[in-house]
Amino acid sequence: MAGPDDTDQDKNPRLMARWRQTGRVLVEALPYILQYDQKTIVVKYGGNAMTGSGGTDDFSQDIVLMKQTGIDPVVVHGGGPQIGAMLKKLGIESSFIDGLRITDEAAVDVVEMVLSGSINKHIVTAINAAGGRAIGLSGKDGNLVVAKKLALTKTDPGTGAVTTHDLGFVGQPARVNPEVLHSIMKSETIPVIAPIGVGPKGETFNINADTVAGAVASALKAERLILLTDVEGVLDQDKKLIDRLTASQARALIADGTISGGMIPKIQTAIDAVEDGVEAAVILDGRIPHVLLLELFTEHGAGTLITAG
């Protein structure tokens, strides 16, 4: 039944055009909603992506909408900038080798506090406030991510000499136990994972969030691994976005220097995931409002899609 103002609104061409556009968007999204129904999508939410214009609110709304359309989202978050700020505040110096933070005993306590504490609970609270039901955990909970110490070796291109660098309490996943996540997901709850692993003797390890997200996606045989970062995707040598790559093409771009710097470990994570059973991986600019919805539910997508072949 029409309300008192409906007749006036029907006469507003601008309002009607907006309604028609909304209808077209919903119709366009329908086949993608059906495609991803009952599928698992692992989303890595980077510390830099959290500084976007929409911030955590847009991200949380996207995650809740994904859940409501039948997707099983699993969130793995980073927090490098936030860790750096806290270490600086506490007077603990940070140093890096190839983008990896050297993490001594004092620093690993701070890393765990920031990741498993403030950041994890902030994301969980935001998802719950958006209408979802999320639970925060780290890789230590239920032995979700059993880790081993990361051994970083570097070869001198001139002499061929190999040196090993001790990064302290920096690890890499040795095993992911998906049963922990299956139990949470069966209860219609969204897992939010801090990238902290547990060693064989109960040690705490700081693990790169991209690496944890890739390992979790592989263990769950996810439909998608989505890596949110602060760039729009993989760029060619003319700085134009490459919308699709195979694993072999991605390796070639690393070899010729087109993919360089901090993008290399992200692409390597994506390659490892798709070659280990994940249907596809995507590099997205997490600073774009509602970029997850643009990628999943529109024809054109929004970033760089990487597949096994």
Question: In the chain, how many domains are there?
Answer: 1
Look at residue 29 and give its three-state secondary structure. Answer: helix
Tell me what pLDDT residue 33 has: 86
pLDDT band, very low/low/confident/very high, at 287 (cuts 50, 70, 90): confident
Tell me what pLDDT residue 222 has: 96
- In the sheet that holds 304-307, the strands lie side by side as 134-138, 190-194, 72-77, 40-45, 224-229, 280-285, 304-307, 244-246
Estimate to the nearest angstrom the gap between the alpha carbon of 247 and the chain centroid: 19
pLDDT band, very low/low/confident/very high, at 138 (cuts 50, 70, 90): very high
For 212-259, the pLDDT digits (tens) are 999 999 999 999 999 998 888 899 888 899 999 999 999 999 999 899
**290: in domain:** yes
**269: in domain:** yes
Tell me what pLDDT residue 52 has: 52
Domain of 209, CATH number, reads: 3.40.1160.10
pLDDT band, very low/low/confident/very high, at 299 (cuts 50, 70, 90): confident
User: Which tokens in the block code for residue 64?
Assistant: 């809740």
More confident residue, 38 or 52: 38
Question: For a pLDDT cut of 90, what percent of the chain falls above it?
Answer: 57
pTM of the shown model: 0.87
**114: in domain:** yes
pLDDT band, very low/low/confident/very high, at 156 (cuts 50, 70, 90): confident
User: Which regions of the chain does DSSP assign to beta strands (E)?
Assistant: 40-45, 72-77, 96-97, 100-101, 134-138, 145-155, 162-176, 190-194, 196-198, 204-206, 224-229, 244-246, 280-285, 304-307
**145: in domain:** yes
Residues 288, 302 contacting (CB under 8 angstroms) = yes
More confident residue, 56 or 78: 78
**13: in domain:** no
User: Which tokens in the block code for residue 31?
Assistant: 């086949």
Average pLDDT, the chain: 88
Mean pLDDT is lowest, of 36-45, 79-88, 125-134, 266-275, for 79-88
Tell me what pLDDT residue 47 has: 67
pLDDT band, very low/low/confident/very high, at 1 (cuts 50, 70, 90): very low
pLDDT band, very low/low/confident/very high, at 263 (cuts 50, 70, 90): confident
**31: in domain:** no
**224: in domain:** yes
Cβ contacts of residue 199 below 8 Å, gap of 6+?
146, 147, 148, 149, 171, 205
Parallel/antiparallel/unpaired status of strands 100-101 and 96-97: antiparallel
Q: Which domain holds residue 64?
A: 37-307
Residues 138, 120 contacting (CB under 8 angstroms) = yes
Look at residue 61 and give its three-state secondary structure. Answer: helix
Residue 115 has pLDDT above 60, yes or no: yes
**278: in domain:** yes
For 166-176, the pLDDT digits (tens) are 888 999 999 99
